[in-house]
Amino acid sequence: MKEFNIFGICSPQDHYMVDISKKLDEVIGLINKRIYFTMNRPRQYGKTNTLYQLEQRLQGSHYVLSTTFQSAAMILLLLLRL
């Protein structure tokens, strides 16, 4: 039975999701043209899931580097405490 997910990556088999395949096609077109793009949306808008799906679609045809700045923020906080 599907449910709404409010934390982490969504799974189409387990969670209700909006079909963003056309939007991903547009973003891949920008990437192939070497055009920069940004994602700026409020919390709980699907940014993490969009990037995850984009990464899955690009595997095999592009080199994908995933990173997070959350760990960098934690390191900075630890350094400031010294």
For 33-56, how does the pLDDT look when each residue is reduced to its tens digit (9 = 90+)? 999 999 888 888 888 899 999 999
Q: Would you place residue 75 in the very low, low, confident or very high pLDDT band (cuts 50, 70, 90)?
A: confident
Instruction: Write down the pLDDT at residue 82.
Output: 64
pLDDT mean over 61-82? 80
Q: What are the extents of the domains in the chain?
A: 21-81
Helix pair 47-58, 21-32: axis angle to 10 deg: 60
- pLDDT of 71 over the 80 cut: no
**Position 80: which residue type?**
L
Give CA–CA dist 44/7, Å, rounded: 8
Nearest partner of 48 among 16, 6, 8, judged by Cα:
8
Give CA–CA dist 72/64, Å, rounded: 20
- pLDDT of 24 over the 90 cut: yes
User: For the chain, what percent of residues have pLDDT higher than 90?
Assistant: 54
Residue 55: how many CB atoms within 10 A of its CB? 13
